[in-house]
Structure 1
Amino acid sequence: MAETADVERGDDRDGDREVRSVPLGEIETARSRHMWTRSAVHVAEAGALVVTGEWDGTVTARETDSDSLEARWTVDHPDHAIGIASLSSDGAEDDSEESIVVAGRGETGTIAAYDAATGERRWRYDTVDDLGEAVNDTVFYLPYVVDLEVDSDDGTLYAAARRYERDGDVRQWHSTVYAFAPDGAVRWRYETDGSPIALDLDADGERLAVGYNRCMGDHDVGLVVLETETGDLAWTWDPGTEGDRRVGDVSFDGDSIAVSSHGDKRGYLLGPRGAERWRVDLAVETEIDGETLYAYPNHAYANDGRVTFVTGNTYAVESRETEGRHPNEHRIATFEADGELAWDDQVRGFVHALAADGETIAAPCAQNFRVRDPETHAVRRFDLESGPLGVERLSGIATAAAVADGTLAAIEEPVEYHDEGETRGEYALHVASIE
């Protein structure tokens, strides 16, 4: 039976809405610092199904037309279930042909497809066979499937996976980008020693953009664009900055690609073959009270001639610790086709991953570890054209969200700030209609 979590609905321009909630069991309480991605949520079947991936590998599909979000099926994925997508067989519109693809982080780095109707596993692929086994049992070293993209026309699934290792002063990444047929057969692989962080597919399904966050080996570019038919390299782009930090996110819009740069903390809009159309300062290095501060632009979303970027935490060039705050930390900003600012707002807390569907953007906002203010805990909604729409406040931190077909789903995790001794919130799923 579903229970209602402590959800405060405020600052909502659409008025109060019904939010249905269901607890997800126990999880280690988050602290002031951010933890790794531990949960995922996905909206499927035109809003009729919400699928959760949990820290222990549990994957549950729930019916949204049930007041209690009744479970349709539950399975155990081999790893932490931290990425979910819908996959149709050769683009079939029949729901009976739909699969729920789950990506994991763990010993095997497994990608598996489950029947959307029954939860029966259709196929499984272990990326550890390509990436190699972890050399350390801490989570940062485990094989990690970082992103999934689906071509709804032909049912091709694209995935990016990576593994990190360190031997003394030598640090190294192993990574593979995959194209899977609907039956799980691998069509091609693209392997490098860079660290991929994001994928995006163009509208025609002909190009796949791969953003690389860390480049410390032979692979030395932040953006790679691949031919989807063959996996061959089409073109590359890089911010041209020193160090191994490169790209935070990528997003196609027609023949343009929006790129958030970790190298110089700017946002870019690129044309064909990487021609720069414009760039904007997002959270570039800025001197404040004797410190040089910056924040990473972590997310990009481009659609219908507009581009949205979201920045993260403040850091200092001289030290990871600082009492200062960059003026553009935790900011969402949308730009017009010519690069002019359309609107901006504060998201206030760290956004693990941005969710978007057409003109609707949802930002699951977790803690701001610099200020430790519970008011940051929320799912904030925005319209791509006009800006803020509303806020769904949570007691705990929002760590994952999905929005599609008028349904908004979010996962809350409990948090205890190190200087308070109070646990806020619970591990729970929240679902609301935003039509």
Structure 2
Amino acid sequence: MSRGRTGVSVELGDCSPRGSRQQWRRSSVTEFGVEGSESAGFAVGTADGTVLALDAEGSERWRTPGDEMAVALAEFDTSLAVGTRGDRGRVRLLDSSGDEQWAYDTASDLGGSAKDTLFWYPFVVDVVAGRPDETGDSGLYAAARRYERDGDQRVWRSAVYAFGPDGEVRWRYETDASPISLSLDGSRLAVAYNRCGGDHDCGLMVLDADSGTPVADWDPGTAGERRVGDVSLSGGDLAAASHGDYRGYLLDADSGAEQWATELGVERALGDETLYAYPNHALLAGDAVVFVTGNSFPEEGREAEGRHPNEHTIAAFSREDGERLWSSSVGGFAGEVVSSGERIAVPCAQHFRDRDAEAHGLRVFDAREGLVREIRAEGIVTAAALCDGRVAFVEEPVEYHDEDEVRGTYRVRVEQI
């Protein structure tokens, strides 16, 4: 561990540099421990499967090995749930000392990888945990998917799981669509499906958390398999980032009824091109609704000469009426957006066309006011978490295809905000 003027840095070992284009997740970080107490801190998942726990100031408490990329983390009571990407696509539960309590292989349901490549591996895309109810019981939820091709057809197999504290599968909700994220609020679990190319033809499902029974659903109603990029559930509302029509929506969680919608990355004619940008993230933070957009794409082909005016933009709206509160550039591709109270953190990776290393870093926003702080990074920032007035974020090395230079190292940094 090394200390800087404002924070600390913990090395995470060796990993190959990222390239010019974005790649799938291979690192993760989450708050871990009771906020405001001596146990408050962070947990970090790495590309080689190692998981480590840090206190709030960044000192290491423990680390435990793994054999598949630790790509999703969630605190579950006093334990830590880990979702992996690899041959087995595992959900692991580690106790407060890092010892494994149980593990479940999603490949036993979804099948193993048809090719020995990252994109084809079973992938636990998200894990979320509920707080104990009046009986003292609680639940852990995970979404996993597996991809393969059948001729020209993309084929997805996926499942959403509810686990008890002992690893028992309480229920399983299986589809032939591709889940991208989960959001839990009390007795409701929202599931966003970013690709629906089979019989399951709905981009957003709300399930009863106790039984897995569908309660409500919503879809942008657009052609093609692209549907929903992210979902956030809180206080009876759903925020959805639509990949179908490039808009952001606020929905009623019990019925799926639309309350309002806003244009984010909708098609714009610029010169000889018509460009769009995917809204990749949605977040309910207090009385604000936040969306973050990604890369520009042309209506025809994949390589755009121009840039959509809302590319790589974070925008906040009033939950009540959809009025825009503020917007700001995030500089490059954001792998996620996280919050704690009114604070929002956005880890920024590379702009895969402009490749501007000055954009690498982490940006912290206030849900009502906008930008609070920018933290520069030599490498790209791929994951972040907030706890007790601090932010922890993973920095990964990057080597652009037109440069003979590796920028950054593989590490987690903890800074005060």
TM range (shorter): over 0.9
Between the aligned partners of 2:380 and 2:295, the Cα distance in structure 1 is 15
- Residue number in structure 2 paired with 1:417: 400
Q: Quick one: which amino acid aligns to residue 40 of structure 1?
A: S
CA contact (8 A) 1:78 1:108 kept: no
- Residue number in structure 1 paired with 2:215: 234
CA contact (8 A) 1:253 1:305 kept: no
- Residue number in structure 2 paired with 1:113: 93
Between the aligned partners of 1:79 and 1:34, the Cα distance in structure 2 is 20
CA contact (8 A) 1:221 1:236 kept: yes
Map Cα deviations across residues 38-71 of structure 1 (whole Å, 9 max, x no partner): 1111221135332111101111112334xxx443
Matched ranges for 1:120-269 at <5 A: 120-153=99-132, 154-202=137-185, 205-269=186-250
The more displaced of 215-224 and 168-177 is 168-177
- Residue number in structure 2 paired with 1:86: 75
Shift of 1:155: 2.4
Between the aligned partners of 1:302 and 1:344, the Cα distance in structure 2 is 15
Q: Decide which of 316, 326, 338 is 1:355's aligned counterpart.
A: 338
Equivalent residue of 1:416, what SS? Answer: coil
- Residue number in structure 2 paired with 1:95: none
The more displaced of 144-153 and 45-54 is 45-54
CA contact (8 A) 2:277 2:296 kept: yes
Q: Decide which of 387, 391, 410 is 2:370's aligned counterpart.
A: 387
- Residue number in structure 2 paired with 1:71: 60
Shift of 1:428: 0.8
How big is the alpha-carbon RMSD for the aligned residues of Structure 1 and Structure 2?
1.3
Equivalent residue of 1:429, what SS? Answer: strand
1:318–1:4 Cα change, 3 Å = farther
Q: Decide which of 338, 341, 352 is 2:321's aligned counterpart.
A: 338
Is 1:57 aligned to residue 49 of structure 2?
yes
- Residue number in structure 2 paired with 1:275: 257
Q: Quick one: which amino acid aligns to residue 73 of structure 1?
A: W
Equivalent residue of 2:198, what SS? Answer: coil
Is 1:18 aligned to residue 17 of structure 2?
no
Between the aligned partners of 2:124 and 2:303, the Cα distance in structure 1 is 30
Matched ranges for 1:276-355 at <5 A: 276-336=258-318, 337-355=320-338
Shift of 1:394: 0.3
Between the aligned partners of 1:84 and 1:230, the Cα distance in structure 2 is 23
CA contact (8 A) 1:315 1:322 kept: yes
Q: Decide which of 14, 17, 40 is 2:28's aligned counterpart.
A: 40
Q: Quick one: which amino acid aligns to residue 166 of structure 2?
A: D
Q: Decide which of 28, 31, 46 is 2:16's aligned counterpart.
A: 28
CA contact (8 A) 1:333 1:341 kept: yes
Between the aligned partners of 1:185 and 1:177, the Cα distance in structure 2 is 14
Map Cα deviations across residues 14-56 of structure 1 (whole Å, 9 max, x no partner): xxx7111121111101111112111111221135332111101
- Residue number in structure 2 paired with 1:92: none
Equivalent residue of 1:35, what SS? Answer: coil
CA contact (8 A) 2:267 2:275 kept: yes
CA contact (8 A) 1:83 1:146 kept: yes
Shift of 1:236: 1.0
Is 1:375 aligned to residue 358 of structure 2?
yes
Q: Quick one: which amino acid aligns to residue 174 of structure 1?
A: R
1:182–1:263 Cα change, 3 Å = same
Map Cα deviations across residues 67-110 of structure 1 (whole Å, 9 max, x no partner): xx44322212231001111111xxxxxxxxx1111110000001
CA contact (8 A) 2:41 2:387 kept: no
Equivalent residue of 1:274, what SS? Answer: coil
**Percent identity (aligned):** 52
Between the aligned partners of 1:179 and 1:152, the Cα distance in structure 2 is 13
CA contact (8 A) 1:268 1:279 kept: yes
CA contact (8 A) 2:286 2:367 kept: no
The more displaced of 291-300 and 412-421 is 412-421
CA contact (8 A) 1:178 1:188 kept: yes
Aligned length: 407
Q: Quick one: which amino acid aligns to residue 217 of structure 2?
A: T
Map Cα deviations across residues 149-177 of structure 1 (whole Å, 9 max, x no partner): 11113421111000001021122100000
Between the aligned partners of 1:385 and 1:185, the Cα distance in structure 2 is 41
Shift of 1:142: 0.5
Between the aligned partners of 2:14 and 2:8, the Cα distance in structure 1 is 19
Between the aligned partners of 2:403 and 2:210, the Cα distance in structure 1 is 54
Shift of 1:4: 5.1
CA contact (8 A) 1:46 1:405 kept: no
Shift of 1:407: 2.3
- Residue number in structure 2 paired with 1:100: 80
Between the aligned partners of 2:238 and 2:333, the Cα distance in structure 1 is 24
Shift of 1:182: 1.3
1:46–1:432 Cα change, 3 Å = farther
Q: Quick one: which amino acid aligns to residue 46 of structure 1?
A: V
Map Cα deviations across residues 228-261 of structure 1 (whole Å, 9 max, x no partner): 1111111211000000000001111311101000
Shift of 1:353: 1.0
CA contact (8 A) 2:42 2:392 kept: yes
Map Cα deviations across residues 273-318 of structure 1 (whole Å, 9 max, x no partner): 1111110000101111111111100000013221000000111111
